[in-house]
Amino acid sequence: MTHHPTAPFPDLPATLTCGTTTVAHYGYGPGADDRPRLHPVTTLGGITVTEERPADHLHHLGVSVAVPDVAGYNFWGGRTFVRGRGPTALDNLGVQRHLARPHRSPDGFTQELGWEAAGVELLREHRTVTATPIASTAWELDLSFVLTNHGDRDLSIGSPATNGRPGAGYGGFFWRAPKEAAPPAVFSAAGEGESEVHGRAADWLALAGDGWTLVFVGATEETRRDPWFVRTAEYPGVGSSLAAHERLPVPAGGSVVRRIITVVADGRLDRETAAGYARRAVAR
């Protein structure tokens, strides 16, 4: 199955600005990327805090919504984890096809996407992305998505963890940060370090690198129940897991709704400052 998501669209690519500062670019990358992504994303001071197609994981694309198993189809990229076989190259890759961008402004947009595989639309997504300056050294990226099953058959979302790979419950919102000389620090209100925060739910989670900090905030009660997927030692990445331990049903006519607000800050924030930003994000 061949897809051409990079075909020219009159309303893509897009940029996000905070005042006069461009803080993110959005669209499909060069080549055969099968989902749109935000990259590069920068702090107000100009530090790039995303990475695209790194050598360690070519299917990591900045900030995106990526799911490794929708009814057996791979919307993440790379190999598929098969129970009893491990990571396996399969002809099961799906594409997030751009359909429309009904609203657009310098600081945000909405987008309609069709999640298609084998010539069939499995899910229809409504995505909303906005950028808001909140301080002289910080801004918020607000990303929400609604995945709706318009078909007449029930579907479910899975992950390598639900298919037999312990600890690999990734899938959903995912942010690939740049790899630096030293791994970034990661902490939440309750713990610090990859082993203490990975696979656990928390209202917010912070990733702090060389001159930058990202504070990820679950902006709805349902989103806050999803565990965080965290990597720092192998590579720097944070995701909010839709199916960390068991498959997530999406019945015919049903929807999955999630919202993540990410504070993008210059400097290395401490826990108290990160918590303050997180409180303000959900109170806005």
In 3-state terms the chain splits into helix, strand, coil percentages (rounded to 5) of 10, 45, 45
The whole-chain average pLDDT of the chain stands at 94
- Residue whose structure tokens are 């994000």: 281
33 has a pLDDT exceeding 90: no
Q: What DSSP designation does 183 have?
A: P
> Looking at residue 34, what is its pLDDT?
87
> Looking at residue 31, what is its pLDDT?
61
141 has a pLDDT exceeding 50: yes
Number of H helices, E strands in the chain: 3, 21
Give the span between the Cα atoms of 41 and 44, in whole angstroms.
10
Contact call for residues 257 and 220 (beta carbons, < 8 A): yes
C-alpha to C-alpha distances, 276 to 67, 88, 214, nearest whole angstrom: 31, 43, 13
Name the nearest CA neighbour of 243 among 124, 122, 75, 128: 75
Q: Which amino acid is at 91?
A: D
> Looking at residue 29, what is its pLDDT?
83
Taking residues 168-174, what's their average pLDDT?
98
Residue 105 pLDDT class (50, 70, 90 cuts): very high
Residue 140 pLDDT class (50, 70, 90 cuts): very high
Residue 222: what are its φ and ψ, rounded to 5°? -65, -40
Give the span between the Cα atoms of 30 and 12, in whole angstroms.
13
Give the span between the Cα atoms of 37 and 127, in whole angstroms.
12
* pTM for the predicted model, two decimal places: 0.95
Half-sphere exposure of 121 (CA within 13 A, CB side): 16
Q: What DSSP designation does 38 have?
A: E
Q: Is 282 in a helix, a strand, or coil?
A: helix
Beta strands 155-158 and 138-148, pairing class? unpaired
Residue 11 pLDDT class (50, 70, 90 cuts): low
Contact call for residues 82 and 177 (beta carbons, < 8 A): no
